[in-house]
Amino acid sequence: MLVWRRAELRLGMLARRRDAAALGLLLALAAAAFTAASLGASALTPHELVTALLDAADPRHVLLWQVRLPRVACGALVGAALGVAGVLVQTAVRNPLADPWLLGVSAGAGAAALLAIVAFPELPALVPAVAFAGGIAPVAVLLALSSGARARGPLRMVLTGVALQALCFAIVALILFFFADRAPAFAAFIVGSLASVGWEDVAIVAVPTALGFAAALVAARPLDVLLLDEASATSLGVAVRRARFGAAGLAALLAAGAVSVAGLVGFVGLVAPNALRLLAGPRHLLLLPLAALGGATLVMLADTVARAAAAPLELPVGALLAALGAPYFLYLIWKKIP
């Protein structure tokens, strides 16, 4: 009886912890957005920020609206897209160690995007579509290889992703080699950076992010069933193969949007879902929004640090996130791979 009471108490705490997590994340997101808008090459007090935003005569008004706000919005959207994409690839390959970056989705999208940029420089609108095709290719190969019960082990999956990623990076390196004159612009792309984004970039990332997120939420229940073993999911009436490819395709769409504006930002899709799964549990209806919030907060904060830490010099946000994400990845490897 006592054990039962204690379990009930713990459960109540857990439920409250979940609500608190959701609320906390929302607050963190707002705080991060505020901080991100305030800090940078020139730091503003909250009062100054509000005045500058509202008063068109303020000398910083244009800077804020044309430079800093689109950047903050892009950071939030890129982070949300990558957080949701992380959940989706982890579900598609049934492995918490998956991440759009680690599986080569980002690298594939990036390689394709660079190809599109050098091949059709007059058609920038083409980039996201080509990036999507490039992003879905590695994960399609991975899913084809891991059909049935083969390649189910997390180790093989991660190593396959590494191999596919290496292939994509070889393509990137080739492009860099042949278009060395444009190397500086490409370097920012490869490390991942939000340095020169504008409102048009917000539009580019917002559309795939909104579409992908909405589709994932609609499919939340079948995605849950996909977390079971293949035989059980089939027995419950889910077309496992099709659903996996669908989840991977949505992840590629989200990652392609993010890559198109921010370049190869890594590890967000690994860190945000894995950290939040501890609080939210594995079910998608809760995990997807939390991963979106968490990813958005993470990228906005990282980008703020990137702008403010060594001002006026700017650090690439991708490098900062990798510095944060790689140790977390190591921790997960040692914890999850037996």
Per CB under 8 A, residues contacting another protein are: 4, 7-8, 11, 96, 148-150, 218, 221-222, 224-225, 227-232, 234-239, 277-278, 281-283
| Residue closer to another protein, measured from CB, 126 or 217 | 217
| Residue closer to another protein, measured from CB, 119 or 218 | 218
For the CB of residue 85, give the shortest distance to another protein in the complex, in Å: 18
| Residue closer to another protein, measured from CB, 62 or 285 | 285
For the CB of residue 12, give the shortest distance to another protein in the complex, in Å: 10
For the CB of residue 226, give the shortest distance to another protein in the complex, in Å: 10
For the CB of residue 272, give the shortest distance to another protein in the complex, in Å: 16
Q: How many residues does the chain have?
A: 338
| Residue closer to another protein, measured from CB, 63 or 225 | 225
| Residue closer to another protein, measured from CB, 238 or 264 | 238
Tokens linked to 80:
């949300």
Q: Rounded distance, CA 230 to CA 110, Å?
A: 32
DSSP string over 185-218:
HHHHHHH---TT--HHHHHHHHHHHHHHHHHHHH
Burial 133-167 (b: 16+ CB within 10 A, else e): ebbbbbbebbbeebeeeebeebeebbebbeebbeb
For the CB of residue 238, give the shortest distance to another protein in the complex, in Å: 7
Q: Rounded distance, CA 44 to CA 27, Å?
A: 20
For the CB of residue 22, give the shortest distance to another protein in the complex, in Å: 16
Query: What is the torsional sign of CA 279, 80, 212, 116?
Result: negative
| Residue closer to another protein, measured from CB, 46 or 281 | 281
Q: Rounded distance, CA 155 to CA 316, Å?
A: 30
Q: Rounded distance, CA 335 to CA 338, Å?
A: 7
